[in-house]
A and B are shown apart, each in its own frame.
Chain A
Amino acid sequence: MGYFQGFWVTFKKLWDRRVTSEYPKVKRPKPIRSHGRHVLNRYEDGMEKCIGCELCAGVCPARCIYVRGADNPPDDPVAPGERYGFVYEINYLRCIHCDLCVEACPTEAITESKLFEFSFTNRPDAIYTKDELLVDDDGRPQRLPWEDWREGDDLHTSAWMRATSPSGSAAYEGRVQWSGELGYGVRAPEQGQAARVDLTPPTDATVTPEELDPSTMSEGESASDHEIAGGH
């Protein structure tokens, strides 16, 4: 029979279910943590979050971000504080969507949406400037004519950040440690990591210095938290 078993295999496959989706016609929902085109956020009062510190440019492994800060005009400040991002450019021919800029940003000014279906026909167009990256007056990402935004692309932006906490300690999973955004308010922390049982978010959004250091935690709390985090 040996010679003919292969024929049975191919014949069975003939009736198998297809897993291919007809891509441009049918688009599957994107994973919750997918990384896409960047967005420059604003505070709920409309001020820009970017302070022009260039940490994102410094951390970028692809060297695709170019930032120049400038002093805020005293009579009409763009961002709270001393400085603001005067020039902000991302070259999408270089960007690898690693999210390190998001991680580095001290003010959560830059996050990544899930949009990846955008195209350009020349090199200058590949460089997004601040005009294009900044959210509009409603706080929503600008839907540029060459971009194909889908439902939910602007939600759960940079979700990994909203699921974990500084220094990656599972004890702080699910605690809000970021400021509100224009248009979205304070985004809820991501819930439901694999082993987490308690799905209700902690009520206190502020973190005390003692809590930040896991070694100062009480014995019982630490143990239960580690148990909950499931082999962190």
Chain B
Amino acid sequence: MGDPLFVDGIDLGVVLFVVVKALLGFAFVLVGVILMIWFERKVLADMQNRVGPARAGKWGLLQTLADGIKLIFKEDVKPDRADRPVYRLAPYLSVAPAFLTFCIVPIAGAFGGDDNGTVELFGHETFLQVADPPVGVLFLLAMSSVGIYGIMLAGWSSGSKYPLLGSVRASAQMVSYEAALGLSVAAVVLLTGSLSTHAIVDSQADSFLDWNVWRTGVLPFAIFFVAACAELNRAPFDLVEAEQELVGGFHTEYSSIRFGMFYLSEYMNLITMSAIIVTLFFGGPAPAFGPDGPLLGLGWFVLKLVVFLFVFVWIRATLPRFRYDQLMDLGWKRLIPVALGWLLLLAAIRIGQDEEWFTANGFWNGTLIVAIAVGIAFICGVAILVAMRGSDRERIDEGSAELRKVP
């Protein structure tokens, strides 16, 4: 389908339109980041019985701005042993993917009924999102992988040990959780039959019962959410910048606005991830109930976004940090098998619908297949459990052997 903006060919007007959309999108995210940092500090403070930023502007709203200005004017220290070009490049590599991911999120538009979120502005029909590539969801996964380069290169080029350790942790963690993330996204894609974010929103617009959370059975959403936390390097998976162990993690050696850019990208990613969750599982700008309209769509989108941002902050205020082996255990031994199994189940149901297993016609066929599938699933499950028990026992043995060495 694609964005109707490009249907009549590309002229200067269309190019201008795209540029303006990109600028507005960027402004949206930047303002969002400024408010989000304030919001996080304020909510965290409230949950910890503190007051939080209260001096700069009304309710401390301008605190982030003040911090940003301060960062710009601070001295930009480059370590002696840093790899200069890479050291300079890394912050941009971190910010750019964060924004690019946000480009594919539909942020407004009327989706209910026969509307498909198209809006006519200045004689052009368009979607209210910066871009709607046909490979939308793949683009999301690609960009979140590219974001790792920013962190990895920052740690590596700093010429210092703590950043290197932090960045190695970060990349290992993000690569591990990418798999669970991808598998839970695949469930959504399987149901929608399209990779385009716009089509995904359109398919769940009619009623809140059509939201993918329910249609995929909540589990992919839960897995996506946990994996997103890990992807964002946020609590309880913030081992990347575990202060007690690694000083500041991969950005230890960064100062001034270069540090500011990492900070910016971190919160951009947070907003983007929440927006992606809203898009994939909660119908994006489509209303949960009541009237529909392009601007109302924006309202619904922001509302849903804020709910998830709040939950992210809430989790940070509540949960202690995971140990590294717990993190890897959760990712590889729990989330990935569960996500994979659930995806196969959804796929099986989909095929069953096509093959009429659920009608009298193909019932026996279906039952046979289900019986075989359950058998195989049981064997696989037992195999996985045995393997986990084995590895656990081995680790305990190793540990006690280590203990026995002590005189």
For residue A14, CB closer than 8 A to chain B, the reply is yes
Contact in complex: B51, A11 (CB < 8 Å)? no
For residue B34, CB closer than 8 A to chain A, the reply is no
With A and B bound together, what is the CA distance between A204 and B54 in angstroms?
55
Interface size on A, residues (CB 8 A): 12
For A27, list chain B residues within 8 Å (CB): none
For A232, list chain B residues within 8 Å (CB): none
For B318, list chain A residues within 8 Å (CB): 6-7, 9-10
The proximity string for A residues 20-46 relative to B, scoring 1 for CB distances below 8 Å and 0 otherwise, is 101000000000000000000000000
For residue A19, CB closer than 8 A to chain B, the reply is yes
Contact in complex: A14, B46 (CB < 8 Å)? yes
For B46, list chain A residues within 8 Å (CB): 13-14, 16
Q: Given contacts A6-B319, A22-B54, are A13 and B314 in contact (CB under 8 A)? A: no
What residues make up the interface of B, taking CB atoms closer than 8 Å to A?
43, 46-51, 54, 314, 317-319
User: How far does the Cβ of B321 sit from chain A's closest Cβ, in whole Å?
Assistant: 13
By Cβ-Cβ distance, the 8 closest A-B pairs, closest first, are A10-B47, A6-B318, A10-B317, A10-B318, A20-B51, A14-B46, A13-B47, A7-B318
Q: Given contacts A6-B319, A7-B314, A7-B318, are A18 and B51 in contact (CB under 8 A)? A: yes
Q: Taking CB as reference atom, which chain B residue is nearest A19?
A: B49
For B43, list chain A residues within 8 Å (CB): 14
Contact in complex: A16, B49 (CB < 8 Å)? yes
Contact in complex: A14, B47 (CB < 8 Å)? yes
For A14, list chain B residues within 8 Å (CB): 43, 46-47
With A and B bound together, what is the CA distance between A151 and B319 in angstroms?
46
For A13, list chain B residues within 8 Å (CB): 46-49
For B50, list chain A residues within 8 Å (CB): 18, 20
For A7, list chain B residues within 8 Å (CB): 314, 318
With A and B bound together, what is the CA distance between A14 and B47 in angstroms?
5
With A and B bound together, what is the CA distance between A11 and B51 in angstroms?
15
With A and B bound together, what is the CA distance between A6 and B315 in angstroms?
9
For B49, list chain A residues within 8 Å (CB): 13, 16, 18-19
With A and B bound together, what is the CA distance between A20 and B45 in angstroms?
11
Q: Taking CB as reference atom, which chain B residue is nearest A18?
A: B51
- The residue that B314 contacts in the complex, of A11, A16, A19, A22, with Cβ under 8 A, is A11
The proximity string for A residues 167-209 relative to B, scoring 1 for CB distances below 8 Å and 0 otherwise, is 0000000000000000000000000000000000000000000
For B314, list chain A residues within 8 Å (CB): 7, 10-11
